[in-house]
Structure 1
Amino acid sequence: MEVSTPASRRIDARIDAAYGELPPQERRVADFLLEHLGDLAIFSAADISREAGVSKATVSRIFRKLGFESFSEVRDHVRELRHRGIPTTAPASSEDTEGLTVLERHEAQERENLSRVMAALEGGRLQQAVQLISDARRVVVVGLRNGFPLALHLRQQLTQIRGDVTLAPLPGQSLGEELAALGAEDLVIVLGFRRRPALFGRVVERVDAAEAGLLLIGDSTARPYAGRADAWIECSHHADGAFDSYAAAMSLISILSSGVLDARRTSGHRRISHISAAYEEMGELEDL
């Protein structure tokens, strides 16, 4: 019995479809695969055979039933899922083959992500992005799906420094309201990370057609849109676990905002002072 499903179908979905008809030994292999989707790269077919307590022939047989020719194909499939941003099970072992713990691996990956985004800002790119934000008549920050919380935070930081900073889309709204009146003096900051909605490309095209400025921030999968941007900052989000990390993106937001404050030093500090006074008058913040 082979699973007649499209080749693009996730391995866990294939297992779910076949599980009820698998004999007990093959179910043990299926259970092992589901529990180790995130770290299959450290296993061989012989390892799976040993860990599941079944023969190598049993392991090969279930691979074929699931539509794979070999374990190498299974690993390539799981890597592709991860590359597309689909969460897979986090590593089950507390230490890897190099003796690093989960926390140590996580820290190392975060350091690498941060180093990459800092390198991307060299050569005047940071100054270029800061100048675009500082000089624009109006700034629209667009974040879709994973980019939305980042866009929300960026807008919150920028609005403390300068006026006319809006977030799009707001809950219950479409993007058309915010993008309809764009002009050459405006800037749109678009944050786009993998597994973006199909609408993303149309947003970039709309900004381009309006001749507004475009600051594009995203991971490597957004690179095809970089040619339409006035400034492009690539921000790595790789993670050792199942879910992408946005720590480097948050750090980027911090340094961008600080740069804008420095560029608009007098008016920026005056605005911060007025906002702080409003907080106190309204009693909105805790006394620390």
Structure 2
Amino acid sequence: MKAIEEIIRDKYAQLTPQERKLADFILDRPSDLAIFNSAELARLCGVSKATVSRMFKHLGFSSFREGRVESRRQRQQGVPVVEGKPSKRTFAPHFEREINNLKILQASLSEASVSEMAEALAAARRIKVVGFRNSYPIALHIRQQLIQVRTDVDLAPLPGQTLAEELEGMGADDIVIFIALRRRPKLFDKALNHMIQRKIPVLLITDASLRKVADRVKWWVECPLESVSGFDGYSAAMSVSTLICNTLLHQMAVTGQSRILSISDAYREMNELDFT
């Protein structure tokens, strides 16, 4: 279904002047639609409750409530909802929300569980890191960190390749780190089933939308994505990725540090990085 804002823009010319006051308010503050009830929305816009009800029926909904439910559903699925213009309503609350997301993440983890993940990553024969769309930068970051510490860490699928090719030959001695944040490709379910059927241990870094598969994977990390405006917040996902990689580095202190130093020497020999 189209976003509420798109539907409003499509039908804006057909709305009455009073309905347009309400439409303008929603277009300027689309995230507020999921917060206010019809009475509050009417008062804020200076229109009647009947106007609120009529406008949503003109938009194709059976009631205001149905429109609000749809707005919340889209928000939960990660559909970007844009505020009208930057303001104090987004600046300070942005950092407050990100900090809160990190606190929620911390409360859901234990030091023992993170250590267990790191131990498994240290012992694995091979590691594949998988992430599509918004999950891809996090997958890329994890692979970049892990390859500093140990060998046989690959990003999958490589450009022009299929995931099936990348996973072929993997088994119980390997690990797939699967980053699967919301608005995932439909491939996810089949890919996860493929890994489980082949008994490949999976570390799944995701959000609340995949709680239904939590008991199917070896390790489960749920990252809050909530933000105060349109785009999801990924600080929790990036933070837990860094935590896991750092824990692995400490557990592989001797071999990990030796590899880091060797790579640093190669940087200098090849003059690839600026160390100043």
1:266 aligns with 2:259: no
| CA shift in 2, pair 1:205/1:56, >3 Å | closer
Question: In the TM superposition, what whole-angstrom CA distance separates every residue of 1:176-215 from its partner, at most 9, and x where no partner exists?
Answer: 1211121221111101111111111111111112222111
Question: If the length of structure 2 is used for normalisation, what is the TM-score?
Answer: 0.91
Give the CA deviation at 1:87.
0.9
Q: Which residue of 2 aligns with 1:16?
A: 9
Identify, as 1 or 2, the structure richer in helix: 2
The CA RMSD over aligned residues, in Å, is: 2.2
1:26 alignment partner, one of 10, 13, 19: 19
Cα drift, residue 138 of structure 1:
0.3
Tell me the SS of whatever aligns to 2:177: strand
Match of 1:282 in 2: 270
Q: Which amino acid aligns with 2:156?
A: A
Q: CA deviation at 1:59?
A: 3.2
- Is 1:197 aligned with 2:181? no
User: Matches of 2:48 and 2:117 in 1, distance apart?
Assistant: 58
Listed one character per residue, the Cα deviations across residues 73-105 of structure 1 (whole Å, up to 9, x for unaligned) are: 33322111101111112375845xxxxx43332
- 1:63-212 matches, cutoff 5 A: 63-90=56-83, 94=87, 101-122=89-110, 124-212=112-200
Determine the structure 2 residue equivalent to 1:38.
Answer: 31
Provide closer, same or farther for how the CA distance between residues 262 and 78 of structure 1 changes in structure 2, counting only shifts above 3 A: same
Query: Any unmatched runs of 5+ in structure 2?
Result: none
Write the distance in 2 (CA, Å) between the matches of 1:149 and 1:158.
Answer: 14
Question: Are the equivalent residues in 2 in contact too, given 1:140–1:187 (CA < 8 A)?
Answer: yes
| CA distance in structure 1 between the partners assigned to 2:167 and 2:275 by the alignment | 39
User: Per the alignment, in what secondary structure is the counterpart of residue 142 of structure 1?
Assistant: strand
Residue 29 (structure 1) shift: 2.7
Q: Structure 1's 203 and 285: CA in aligned 2 closer, same or farther, altered over 3 A?
A: same
* Secondary structure at 1:87 match in 2: coil
Whether the 8 Å CA contact 1:204–1:228 is kept in 2: the answer is: no
Are the equivalent residues in 1 in contact too, given 2:81–2:230 (CA < 8 A)? yes
- CA displacement at 1:166 relative to structure 2: 0.1
Distance change in 2, residues 1:231/1:42 (3 Å): closer
- 2:247 corresponds to 1:254: no
Query: Could you say if the C-alpha distance between residues 19 and 211 of structure 1 is closer, same or farther in structure 2, counting changes exceeding 3 Å?
Result: same
Unaligned runs of 5+ in 1: 1-7, 96-100
Write out aligned runs for 1:216-227 (5 A). 216-227=204-215
> Is the CA contact 1:39–1:90 (under 8 Å) kept in the aligned structure 2?
no
- The code of the aligned residue for 1:13 comes to E
* One-letter amino acid matched to 1:137: R
Q: Which moved more, 1:274-283 or 1:200-209?
A: 200-209
Instruction: Compute the displacement of 1:148 (Å).
Output: 0.7
Query: Helix, strand or coil: the match of 2:179?
Result: strand
CA distance in 1, matches of 2:227, 2:128: 29
Give 1:53 shift.
5.4
Normalising by structure 1, what TM-score?
0.87
Count of aligned pairs: 276
Find out whether 1:235 has 2:227 as its counterpart: no
Counterparts of 1:220 and 1:210, CA distance in 2: 25
Letter of the 2:125 partner, please give it: R
Deviation for aligned residue 1:43: 4.4
What displacement does 1:13 show? Answer: 3.1
Q: Which amino acid in the other structure matches residue 267 of structure 1?
A: T
Give percent identity, aligned residues only.
43
Residues 27, 84 of structure 2: 8 Å contact kept: no
